[in-house]
């Protein structure tokens, strides 16, 4: 079976701590949701999709033509529903790997994405996840052998629980991953950091 990597941005939440539609917040003069799509579309992944739920119609107009919109009507359940939606699409597309991203990590780069993809070619059955601070999580690449485990997730238990349970794990340092956008101050901070970089 030919290798096929499907990248999915999980962006269905209500952004309560942000106090507005975080997906449409501006970073580097483009919305966060467009920014992450553009990075992925310029990388070596085979397909890009975005899971939307809350404010689907409003955010949906910012899905780039080359991306696929995946509607998650169960988004209020928590992150697990979006992971399941992504895994279902991966199965439908006969993907060998599912690469999960969050739209609130603006310092994701094509270089990081392609580095993880290159590592995966030598370790096709391993989960490859990013480390920032004390956390290990998205961006994270999962082999098809773990899709069933994703279907069993419920509530606010996301892909991190799968990362913790696997015995085949590769870690990639991504310190900038700690600079995410949870509240308006975070958005100011990442834009200042970006200008000074």
Query: What is residue 1's predicted lDDT score, i.e. its pLDDT?
Result: 67
User: Has domain 5-196 been given CATH number 3.50.50.60?
Assistant: no
Query: What is residue 71's predicted lDDT score, i.e. its pLDDT?
Result: 98
Query: How many other CB atoms sit within 10 Å of the CB of residue 162?
Result: 20
Per-position pLDDT tens, the chain of length 197: 689 999 999 999 988 778 778 999 999 889 999 999 999 999 999 999 999 999 999 999 999 999 999 999 999 999 999 999 999 999 999 999 999 999 999 999 999 999 999 999 999 999 999 999 999 999 999 999 999 999 999 999 899 999 999 999 999 999 999 888 887 787 878 787 777 76
Find out whether 171 and 164 touch, Cβ atoms under 8 Å.
no
Query: What is residue 76's predicted lDDT score, i.e. its pLDDT?
Result: 95
* Structural domain boundaries in the chain: 5-196
Give strand pairing partners of 47: 6
Both structure tokens of 116: 């993880």
Using CA atoms, how far apart are residues 21 and 98, in angstroms rounded to an integer? 26
Query: What is residue 113's predicted lDDT score, i.e. its pLDDT?
Result: 98
Burial environment of residue 10 by CB neighbours within 10 A (0 to 12, 13 to 18, 19 or more): buried
Query: What is residue 194's predicted lDDT score, i.e. its pLDDT?
Result: 77
According to DSSP, the β-strands at 47-52 and 5-10 are parallel
Q: Degrees (nearest 5) of the Cα angle 142, 130, 23?
A: 85
- CA neighbours closer than 13 Å in the CB half-sphere of residue 100: 31
pTM of the model: 0.94
Query: What is residue 197's predicted lDDT score, i.e. its pLDDT?
Result: 61
* H-helix or E-strand spanning residue 100: strand 97-102
Query: What is residue 142's predicted lDDT score, i.e. its pLDDT?
Result: 98
CA 139 distance to own-chain centroid: 6
């Amino acid at each position: 079976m030919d290798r096929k990597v499907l990248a999915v941005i999980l962006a269905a939440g209500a952004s309560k701590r942000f106090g507005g539609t975080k997906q449409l917040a501006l970073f580097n003069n483009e919305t966060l949701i467009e920014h992450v799509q553009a990075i992925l579309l310029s990388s070596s992944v085979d397909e890009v999709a975005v899971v939307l739920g809350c404010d689907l119609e409003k955010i949906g107009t910012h899905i780039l033509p080359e991306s696929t919109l995946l509607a998650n009507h169960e988004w209020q359940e928590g992150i697990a529903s979006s992971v399941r939606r992504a895994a279902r699409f991966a199965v439908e597309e006969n993907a060998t790997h599912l690469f999960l991203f969050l739209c609130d990590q603006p310092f994701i780069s094509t270089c990081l994405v392609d580095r993880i993809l290159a590592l995966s070619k030598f370790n096709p059955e391993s989960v490859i996840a990013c480390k920032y601070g004390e956390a290990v999580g998205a961006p994270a690449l999962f082999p098809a052998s773990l899709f069933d485990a994703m279907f069993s997730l419920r509530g606010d238990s996301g892909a991190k629980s799968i990362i913790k349970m696997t015995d085949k794990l590769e870690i990639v340092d991504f310190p900038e991953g700690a600079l995410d956008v949870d509240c308006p101050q975070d958005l100011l901070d990442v834009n200042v950091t970006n200008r000074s970089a």
